[in-house]
């Protein structure tokens, strides 16, 4: 199943109850491939994914996530993280090979220095901002392939870090349960444009 971007946006819902229907690995990888096409300043791509499908690990994650039902119900949960330290270390891998030689050299020499002047906390915030773009891509990529999701922010970061051996500098952005909906979810209820838009 595939749909247009407009259809994916208009039919996406935050689903908390899922069919017990496994997601093929190739579907998960296609979702993440599409997610990885999200724009990123300097192409640094700080997002990292942990795909939790093991029932025991997912149960532990459920308790670390305040027992949110969607984490228990979905057969796959993506832990979306931002790792700026790894992204900086591997910056050379993300420089586009077709860039002019001078531009590639500038990026190699300057980006680590520019970001290195920031504190780890500042780099962390910058990486989370980048990764939130990827989050939106993941939600829509999943929906465009006929899957549903529910971005979940209520969790204990320290417990999730311990469960998956994540260092302190890795930012946990969200948990995203993914699967086929077993409920329709609430229809959209949004502000009218005149409430949120100003033209100047």
Contact 139, 33 (CB under 8 A): no
**pLDDT tens per residue, range 179-195:** 999 999 898 999 999 99
Q: What angle do CA 30, 16, 5 make, to 5 degrees?
A: 40
Distance CA 35, CA 51 (A): 14
Task: Write out residues in the chain with pLDDT < 70, as ranges.
Answer: 1
pLDDT confidence of residue 197: 98
Domains of the chain by range and CATH?
5-196 (3.40.109.10)
**CB count in 10 Å sphere of residue 111:** 20
List, for residues 143-180, the tens digit of each pLDDT value. 999 999 999 999 999 999 999 999 999 999 999 999 99
What pLDDT is attached to residue 117?
84
**The pLDDT of residue 95:** 85
Cα–Cα distance measured from residue 37 to residue 45, given in angstroms and rounded to the nearest whole number: 9
Round to the nearest angstrom and report the end-to-end CA distance of the chain: 41
How many whole angstroms separate alpha carbon 74 and alpha carbon 21? 9
Rounded to an integer, what distance in angstroms lies between the CA atom of residue 134 and that of residue 141? 10
Q: What is the pLDDT, as a whole number, of residue 1?
A: 64
Match 């496994």 to its residue by tokens. Answer: 22
Report the length, in residues, of the chain: 200
- Extract the tokens encoding 61: 């994650």
């Amino acid at each position: 199943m595939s749909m247009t971007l407009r259809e994916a946006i208009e039919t996406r819902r935050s689903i908390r109850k899922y069919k017990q229907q496994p997601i093929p690995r190739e579907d998960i990888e296609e979702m993440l491939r599409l997610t990885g096409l999200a724009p990123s300043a300097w192409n640094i791509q700080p997002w990292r994914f942990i795909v939790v499908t093991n029932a025991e690990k997912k149960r532990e994650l459920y308790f670390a996530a305040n027992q949110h039902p969607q984490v228990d119900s979905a057969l796959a949960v993506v832990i979306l993280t931002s790792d700026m330290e790894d992204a900086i270390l591997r910056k050379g891998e993300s420089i586009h090979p077709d860039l002019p030689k001078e531009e590639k050299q500038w990026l190699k020499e300057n980006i680590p220095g520019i970001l290195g002047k920031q504190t780890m906390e500042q780099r962390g915030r910058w990486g989370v901002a980048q990764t939130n773009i990827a989050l939106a891509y993941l939600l829509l990529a999943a929906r465009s392939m006929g899957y549903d999701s529910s971005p979940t922010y209520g969790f204990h970061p320290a417990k999730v870090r311990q469960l998956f051996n994540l260092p302190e500098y890795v930012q946990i952005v969200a948990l995203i349960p993914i699967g086929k909906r077993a409920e329709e979810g609430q229809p959209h209820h949004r502000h009218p444009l005149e409430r949120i838009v100003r033209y100047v």
